[in-house]
Amino acid sequence: MNVKLHRKEKIHTDLLIVGAGPAGLAAALAAASAAEKPGLQIDIVDDNISSGGQIWRGGAHEQKDARARDCWNSLINLSNVRFHFQSKVVHSRSSPTGSTVLLENRNGAQDFHAKKMILATGARELFLPFPGWTLPGVSGAGGLQALAKNAYPVQGKRIVVAGTGPLLMAVAASLIERGAVVTHILEQSTHLNLAQFALSLLATPSKISQGIKLGLTLRKIHYHANSYVLSAHGTQKLQHIRAHINGRVQEIACDFLACGYHLIPNTELAAGMGCALDESSNHPRVEVNQWQETSLEHVYCAGEGTGVGGVDLALVEGEIAGLAATGQIKQAQALFNRRSHWKKFSARLEKYFHLRSELRHLSQADTLVCRCEDVRYDQLQDQSDWRSAKLHTRCGMGACQGRICGAACSHLFAWTKDAARLPFSATRIASLLEDTHTDSV
């Protein structure tokens, strides 16, 4: 039987921004300032229930950071700015006249045609496997913070925060605010690296004041450098961990372990569209020019997707992208020095918090690396690359499509993960059919 399927009428927009975190909001606000284009239509898409992304999770309007509130309050009062929350990009294709994007939300599918597009897809945590990392109670540092911000009960719970980078302190402070008992912070970087990083903060005075505030909040917590988790233990849930603390192995009783080893750029959408990636570092990032434009004409990228650098860098990159995408070249150029300033801070983060080699050797033979498909560490040791691992073990072929184990294998085995394929995420068949002129059943 032949079934005629009619494509939904395209929603036309001048600028489509994917991601409503700091970079996306800054880009929208900058683009909306194009006085010579008063009718400019801007659409912002995000798969969360509210704005803010990971950094300003819970809604930009709820943040202590005044920049978040100012962005949100300015944007919601603009008639030419539309938000589309709980919407995900199923697929996208680019052409010289713009980008066509299929979105899916609770009400079905929407088909957008955008003259310009800004990708502000942010970053996600890097998880490194170790014995017991799949126990209930073990989570990502940012993951537990996000759960707590969304009312997950942590009050009175003993929590160990481990991994690397200033994010650990921010997570610990956030958990304490919600009544948690953070007993230890385990930082894998060395004392020397931490001392050099602290000295480098003289170049960014605002970070010194942030550090002082965090230090006062965390003054009663055991903070250990040169320390990392070896294994997690418990019967039905986490009960204690074993950790390397300054050369000694110690056991620490806890209810939760929040463990995060850096953030890595979300590049799946950009790669799937055909944007060039910079693969000079361990984890690919989207390659952009001075205007934040990707290798695809009319497609820009800003924020953590171009390299993890924190909220300040994300904001200025978003602003440059929004200005450049709407022809405000002089205004964009005026921000180059500020972007360069925060890129240097990003480089210092990468230098002083690089991951130690010991973290590659924590897994035992039966440690799961791919949790979706139950693939053990010993099954992967005999594979030559990512493709071989997928073919022989199904590693990376589960629900997360390699978003967790792919990055872990990149660190453990120096494998290069395949570029994303369409569709970008699990989706309803009906949504795919709505993007087809005609089909036969």
Q: Are residues 161 and 55 in the same domain?
A: no
In the numeric block, which tokens belong to residue 242?
Answer: 């074993």
Q: Are residues 42 and 63 in the same domain?
A: yes
Q: Are residues 134 and 248 in the same domain?
A: yes
pLDDT value, residue 307: 93
Segments of the chain with pLDDT less than 50: 1-7, 436-441
pLDDT value, residue 211: 87
- Picking from 209, 243, 261, the residue at the C-terminal end of a domain is 261
Find out whether 322 and 29 touch, Cβ atoms under 8 Å: yes
- HSE (CB half, 13 Å, CA atoms) of 233? 10
What is the three-class DSSP state of 267? coil
**Counted domains in the chain:** 3
pLDDT value, residue 261: 92
pTM, entire model: 0.90
Q: Number of helices (H) and strands (E), helices first, in the chain?
A: 14, 23
Cα separations (Å) of 130 from 10, 324, 365, 372, 373?
Answer: 48, 44, 10, 16, 17
pLDDT value, residue 424: 76
Residue pLDDT, tens place only, 294-332? 999 999 999 999 999 999 999 999 999 999 999 999 999
Q: Are residues 257 and 173 in the same domain?
A: yes
**Residue 441, domain extent:** 358-441
Q: Are residues 97 and 146 in the same domain?
A: no
Q: Are residues 255 and 143 in the same domain?
A: yes
- Picking from 261, 280, 302, the residue at the C-terminal end of a domain is 261
Q: Are residues 115 and 151 in the same domain?
A: no
Find out whether 84 and 122 touch, Cβ atoms under 8 Å: no
- Picking from 209, 244, 261, the residue at the C-terminal end of a domain is 261
Question: What's the CA gap between 51 and 20, in Å, rounded?
Answer: 5
Q: Are residues 149 and 250 in the same domain?
A: yes
Question: What's the CA gap between 293 and 276, in Å, rounded?
Answer: 11
Q: What is the DSSP string of 191-247?
A: HHHHHHHHHHGGG-HHHHHHHHHHHHHTTTSEEESSEEEEEEE-SSS--EEEEEETT
What is the three-class DSSP state of 376? strand
Note the Cα 399 to chain centre separation in Å: 18
What is the three-class DSSP state of 283? coil
**Residue 119: partners with Cβ closer than 8 Å, 6 or more residues away:** 18, 19, 269, 270, 275, 286, 294, 299, 300, 301, 302, 305
- HSE (CB half, 13 Å, CA atoms) of 192? 2
Q: Are residues 14 and 75 in the same domain?
A: yes
Residue pLDDT, tens place only, 156-210? 999 999 999 999 999 999 999 999 999 999 999 999 999 999 999 999 998 998 8
In the numeric block, which tokens belong to residue 50?
Answer: 């509210």
pLDDT value, residue 114: 93
Question: What's the CA gap between 26 and 235, in Å, rounded?
Answer: 47
Assign residue 27 the CATH number of its domain. Answer: 3.50.50.60
pLDDT value, residue 108: 82
Question: What's the CA gap between 207 and 335, in Å, rounded?
Answer: 20
Q: Are residues 395 and 362 in the same domain?
A: yes
Q: Are residues 256 and 272 in the same domain?
A: no
Q: Are residues 83 and 157 in the same domain?
A: no
In the numeric block, which tokens belong to residue 259?
Answer: 């463990």
